[in-house]
Amino acid sequence: MKTLQKPTAYTCFNRAEWAVLSASTTVTLSVSEREQLQSLNETISACEVSEVYLPLSQLLYLHMIHSMNLHKDMNSFLQKKTKKVPFIIGIAGSVSVGKSTTARLIQALASRWPNHPKVDLITTDGFLYPNSTLEAKGLMKRKGFPESYDIGRLIQLLSDLKSGVPYIEAPVYSHLSYDILPNQTQIVEEPDVVIVEGINVLQVNKKDRQIPNMFVSDFFDFSIYVDADESDILEWYIDRFKILRNTAFQQPESFFHQYRHLSDKEAVNFATDIWKNINGVNLEKNIRPTRNRADLVLTKGEGHKVTNVLLKKQ
């Protein structure tokens, strides 16, 4: 008897099936551009761009054009002349899974779309509470968990974007000082596309009773979740920690300066302990449960290479 497959909300593409979708484009990124976009322990190959991110960019472009046409038709129907608000893309995933690299790649490719849009990238790290606030609330060891973010402020920013506010300031976070930079802001001025990247962008704020029934993802036109096995993510997290130990941690202003002299074994043990007690717990309880809320899931394997793409059915 033939086994019936369980229905799923997603269409699954293996890498080869997904790669052929980019055959019609000639857009590319140079070696220097790819080097500027990649992370410390993640190399972006020309193959990864052409086989994974070009089809993704083309799909996003189709969604944006559809949104623009719908806006035009609605203006005609309602006999109004309203300005099109930004197309917002949300990117979620675990710490160290490579979502920041994905966001930067999409930003670079989207800026090359035929209509040459102005594309801004906002990370939700800037909406973490300052360390002084986290310490006062006893949340320093819960940094990255839902309660450590000023979600109300993030939702207000997204609401302003979708309301057509032309000039917005976003807070800035420093990974070196591990804190919000109090005297710096990111200016977002009349963007066509905004990418919002962070571990929490698909979460539903169940613990924040001040903003019920309103979530960050309510403002997204398209959402992406970057996924991988936890064993791979942990390996990437440890590799990144060891690289930072020899680079950023050496700087006196680094929050983690005290760990600059750790041996390889000590670094592995320390990073593994942080993962098991903080990041891994956050992934299991708060991040991975949001995966099925995404419109598209990029599944990664060894070496940060995307192996499968899941696209939610329309």
Q: Is residue 191 part of a domain?
A: yes
pLDDT in tens, 102-121: 999 999 999 999 999 999 99
Q: Is residue 5 part of a domain?
A: no
**270 is in which domain, residue-wise?**
12-312
- What is the model's pLDDT at position 208? 54
Q: Is residue 156 part of a domain?
A: yes
State the sign of the Cα–Cα–Cα–Cα dihedral 38, 87, 51, 287: positive
How many domains, in total, are found in the chain?
1
Q: Is residue 162 part of a domain?
A: yes
Q: What is the CATH classification number for the domain harbouring 162?
A: 3.40.50.300
Q: Is residue 6 part of a domain?
A: no
DSSP E strand boundaries for the chain = 10-14, 87-93, 119-123, 167-174, 179-189, 193-197, 222-228, 296-300, 306-312
Q: Is residue 7 part of a domain?
A: no
CB 291 within 8 A of CB 297: yes
- What is the model's pLDDT at position 195? 98
pLDDT lower than 50: segments of the chain: 1
- What is the model's pLDDT at position 209? 52
Q: Is residue 4 part of a domain?
A: no
- What is the model's pLDDT at position 1? 46
HSE (side-chain half, CA atoms, 13 Å) at 269: 6
